[in-house]
Chain A
Amino acid sequence: MKVRIVSATAAALLALGGLHPPVQGQGFKPARTVEAVVHTGPGGGSDVLARAVALMMEKEKLLPVRMQVVNKPGGNGAVAAAYLAEKKGDHNTIGFFTGVWLNNPLTSAEAKVTLRDLTPVARLVLEPAVIAVKADAPYKSLPDFIAAAKKSPGQLKQSGGSVTSRDNIVRQLLQKSTGAQWAYISFPGGGERIAALLGGHVNMMVIEPAEAGEHIRAGNMRVLAQVADKRLPGFPNVPTLKEAGFDIPAVPQVRGVVAPPAIPKENVAYWEEVFHKLTKTASWQKFLADNQFEDGYQNAAELTKFYDEFTGRMRGILQEAGVKLVR
């Protein structure tokens, strides 16, 4: 009996030992498979981005090791952020963050980990958006919609994500600057929001151009304006918010990379370099074009500044929208 236990343990130890490759040479380089933490389940936005990045890293040989996506869904990013915070000093873990990681700690008491508590590495993309209506709607431009909303306050409806999502932020800013008012209905899933618009249950939505693309091509949707600083290549004839006469900032949806706390500066520089190289590759450019993202690369220092600015602005906007802040 004892022999069995000992040999089983020995076998187990040997198996475990075999899983660790020898440590790499000088300077910082990841020594084993890099864990890329995302806050969505498989198929979600961050998950898809992380997998695409992992594929590109392999194709362009930017990393000496593999990158593996680890899903830590829950709490709108809070679980993933907390997981990263626990991995203090771990060289082989990074995380992909989105705007939700920045906003969530402001409104949710349990989401204690902010981007500042972790180590910002780089900002990668800015996701623009477009304002779309059903193709047979009477609004040909954004001023049309605003005028209609002013005539019947609270009657028109917009579908979107939660009240802290970019969709609602854009609505709050527009409402404040024009004095118009319309209702907002949250649908947790992107598919449901589109279904609500196409089914005629809501009048307007803010939607990412990649999601809208096919519906526009099929003639089901019409775009009124773009939430971007300059016109996207896919929408040369659609005015931006500023061009349409609305002086509000084009609120971006950001995505980037973050690392656990207490990482030496050398490692951060390494990651910055890797991601910088990534953004210069042809596959990245193609990825951006396919998804209609804007290249928003910023290194760690710039990202930190952006973070402070962004959250400061967000606090103001959310407070005006009547959302309770906890931080």
Chain B
Amino acid sequence: MKARNADLWSGLALAFLAACIIVQASRWDYAGPDGPGAGFFPLWYGIAMLVLSAVLVASSLLRAQPEAVDWRGAGRAAAISAALAVAVVLFKLAGFAIGFAALAFFIVWAMYRRPWPLAAAVAVGLAGGFYVLFPLLLGVNLP
């Protein structure tokens, strides 16, 4: 994906966000009895956002040479993000230690292609370390 397209899409996304903000802001009071209301500020920055994102979209359409955005690594990043999301669910169901160990295992084994005993060792070691350091020593709660 070239930079021109990237700018185009992100500009459009921001324009969409700006439109939503403006619509929401118009539903609130612009000015209450005692002063500006809840809709005052959001309306103005929503408008600013809309204008600027429109400029961004326009400039990306007019640009001469696009620079390349390197998306090669994105697949891996997406995988990690998915793993993080799964980990959060695991936190809720099984607690921090297990969720984190699973996440660490995934990272070491799948991402860095290390042998799985090493991955498991790292996972358990780190999870254990967190458990010792935080709730036991410092009194900070883990999820």
Contacts and interface: CB of A to CB of B under 8 A. Distances in A.
Give yes or no for direct A-B contact (beta carbon below 8 Å). Answer: yes
Interface in B31-47: 32-35
Interface stretch (B53-61, B65-73, B120-128): B120-128
Q: Is the interface of B mostly helix, strand, loop or mixed?
A: helix
16 contacts: A1-B117, A1-B120, A4-B124, A5-B124, A8-B124, A8-B128, A12-B97, A12-B131, A15-B136, A163-B34, A183-B34, A184-B34, A185-B34, A185-B35, A322-B32, A322-B33
B123 to A, nearest CB: 9
Contacts of A183: 34-35
Interface of B: 32-35, 97, 117, 120-121, 124, 128, 131, 136
Of listed B32, B121, B124, residue having the most chain A CB within 10 A: B124
A1 B121 contact: yes
Contacts of B124: 4-5, 8
B34 A5 contact: no
Contacts of A15: 136
Interface residues of A, number: 11
Contacts, number: 20
Closest CB pairs A-B (n = 7)? A1-B117, A184-B34, A322-B33, A8-B128, A1-B120, A8-B124, A5-B124
B116 to A, nearest CB: 9
Contacts of B97: 12
Contacts of B34: 163, 183-185
B120 A5 contact: yes
A1 B122 CA distance: 11
A181 to B, nearest CB: 10
Given A163-B34, A322-B33, 4 more contacts: A4-B121, A8-B128, A184-B34, A322-B32
